[in-house]
Structure 1
Amino acid sequence: MCEALKKNYQLCEEIGRGKFGTISRCFHSISGDFFACKIIDKRSLADATDRECLENEPKIMTLLTPHPNIVKLFDIFENDDFLCMVMELCEPFTLYDMIIQRTLSEHQAALLMKQLLEALSQCHKLGIVHRDIKPENLLFDGRNNLKMADFGSAVWLPEGRSVKGVVGTPYYVAPEVLMGWEYNEKVDVWSAGVILYIMLAGVPPFYGESAAEIFEAVLRGNLRFPTRIFRTVSPAAKDLVRKMVCRDLSRRLSAEQALRHPWILNEGKAMQ
């Protein structure tokens, strides 16, 4: 553990676990405020890719911290064995917790998707690809603003460059990742489109009993809108999903383009 962290913060209970470490609530006695502290044991990192992600995460979060829909980073402590990041403390529920309880109205889904796309647009302008967009990584602050979290798989890409490597979560990962092709920031748009589908339908567009079956369904890419589920969903909402969950990269929208889609601009309300 970082001794400098203990001098500045009092660690409280564990509140979560990420890919590389634990997250605990912590208290700053001088300000009287509570924060979230992500503690990563460097000794547990298996390979060079993991170590690179570890080095990137605090740098990426520092770049993104001013954005209102991205979890803010306040402090970093590091020694030979541990990296500790003190971050904004969010509410104890995620978008995943919300959508397993109920499907959302189009208005609710559009407001949430707009915030997610705003965060992604900022990431992509800075050349940052999150690579693990999923409901569990979308938190909320005390005013119900959506907050993108967990940049443990993120990578920085210079303009016009691409990256390889299978990273992500089965339901949400884009087909070009699974194919082993080089890919760019549009993998995040695919994942966001899958989340939009789930918010509207209550079920994922690609399903299987195992990770392998899910991957096969993603690779087939047969995007359907069953009438019994989508009977009341507007054509505009389905149009946006189609343009985000699109196998053809040249036709898949960017985050900035998705923000300008009429359904987002109209906040999911009935089109006149």
Structure 2
Amino acid sequence: MCESFKQNYQLCEELGRGRFGVVYRCFSTAAHASFACKSIYKHSLSDDTDRHCLDAEPKILHLLSACPNILRLHDVYEDDDHFHLVTDLCDGGDLFDRISSGNRFSEPDAAAILKQLMAAIAYCHRMGVAHRDIKPDNILFDSRGRLKLADFGSAELFDVSEMNGVVGTPYYVAPEVLMGRDYSEKVDVWSAGVILYIMLAGVPPFYGDGAAETFEAVLRGNLRFPSKIFRSVSPEAKDLLRKMICRDASRRISAEQVLIHPWIINGGEMSDLA
């Protein structure tokens, strides 16, 4: 651990492990507050792509720091072996844990989460950033229950260059990503729509035995609402799902349009959408 980090923070217990490093709780002696520290082992970076992602993430987090629903980066440190990213501490768990409990979400609860998520995504898109790996594991909650979108390692500045290449996670990746074509920031809307579907249904809309079969199901994009599961789900929610999980990206609504959809405006409460 570099000396400058030690002068400002006390490293505490481990919170989790990822592909490249370990996340710890750390305590700022100056601020008298706890933060999270993501320590990334440089020698675990296997190629230039990994290094590019690591270099880009702090810059993108700085760019997005004004949004209250995006994980805030406070400090960056580097020593011979590690990078250390000090961020908000989100000790309220993540959305994956809430989904894994097995209980389906009520529509108001799902709408409250989606509204915060789409506020974060819409802000990213206004700033020219596509997240490209929206999934429950990357949706954190702080001690007050506020949603924080995290892990911008796959993010890209779409105003600077065309986006291509397969990134993301099988259940949540948009079909145009799998097709290997240039694609737009609307890939994030698709992924958020899949998350909404899972919150309401308890199962993903596209799945198979293994990644390959799941990818095939995503490419077919045959969105269904099984009556046994969706009998009590409102027409508004299903309307929004159709518009977010739309295989034709040119017809898929934007993040800003999600935020003004009646289901979001009404907080997931029932009304009489035809």
**TM-score normalized by structure 2?**
0.95
Give the match for residue 139 of structure 1.
140
Q: Secondary structure at 2:35's aligned position in 1?
A: strand
Which deviations, in whole Å up to 9, do the C-alpha atoms of 1:171-207 show, x marking residues without a partner? Answer: 0011111111111211110000000000100000011
Q: Secondary structure at 1:76's aligned position in 2?
A: strand
Gaps of 5+ in 1: none
Q: Distance in 1 between matches of 2:89 and 2:186?
A: 29
Q: Does 1:9 align with 2:40?
A: no
Paired residues in the alignment total 271
Give the match for residue 108 of structure 1.
109
Q: Percent identity?
A: 62
Q: Secondary structure at 1:75's aligned position in 2?
A: strand
Give the match for residue 56 of structure 1.
56
Residue 46 of structure 1, CA deviation: 1.2
- The amino acid that maps onto 2:76 is I
Give the match for residue 148 of structure 1.
149
Q: Secondary structure at 2:148's aligned position in 1?
A: strand
Q: Is the CA contact 1:53–1:155 (under 8 Å) kept in the aligned structure 2? A: no
Which deviations, in whole Å up to 9, do the C-alpha atoms of 1:47-66 show, x marking residues without a partner? Answer: 11111111110011111122
Give the match for residue 230 of structure 1.
230
The two structures, once aligned, show a CA RMSD in angstroms of: 1.3
Structure 1 residues 112 and 92: alpha-carbon distance in aligned structure 2, compared to 1, 3 A threshold:
closer
Moved over 6 A (4+): none
Give the match for residue 191 of structure 1.
191
Q: Is the CA contact 1:198–1:205 (under 8 Å) kept in the aligned structure 2? A: yes
- The amino acid that maps onto 2:211 is A
Deviates more, 1:120-129 or 1:41-50: 41-50
**TM-score normalized by structure 1?**
0.96
Q: Is the CA contact 1:19–1:152 (under 8 Å) kept in the aligned structure 2? A: no
Structure 1 residues 184 and 81: alpha-carbon distance in aligned structure 2, compared to 1, 3 A threshold:
farther
Give the match for residue 124 of structure 1.
125
Deviates more, 1:59-68 or 1:228-237: 59-68
Residue 31 of structure 1, CA deviation: 2.3
Deviates more, 1:80-89 or 1:136-145: 80-89
Give the match for residue 98 of structure 1.
98
Give the match for residue 239 of structure 2.
239
Q: Secondary structure at 1:116's aligned position in 2?
A: helix
Structure 1 residues 220 and 149: alpha-carbon distance in aligned structure 2, compared to 1, 3 A threshold:
same
Q: Distance in 1 between matches of 2:265 and 2:162?
A: 30
- The amino acid that maps onto 2:35 is F
Give the match for residue 267 of structure 2.
267
Q: Is the CA contact 1:138–1:147 (under 8 Å) kept in the aligned structure 2? A: yes
Q: Distance in 2 between matches of 1:215 and 1:32?
A: 47
Q: Distance in 2 between matches of 1:41 and 1:154?
A: 20
Residue 73 of structure 1, CA deviation: 1.0
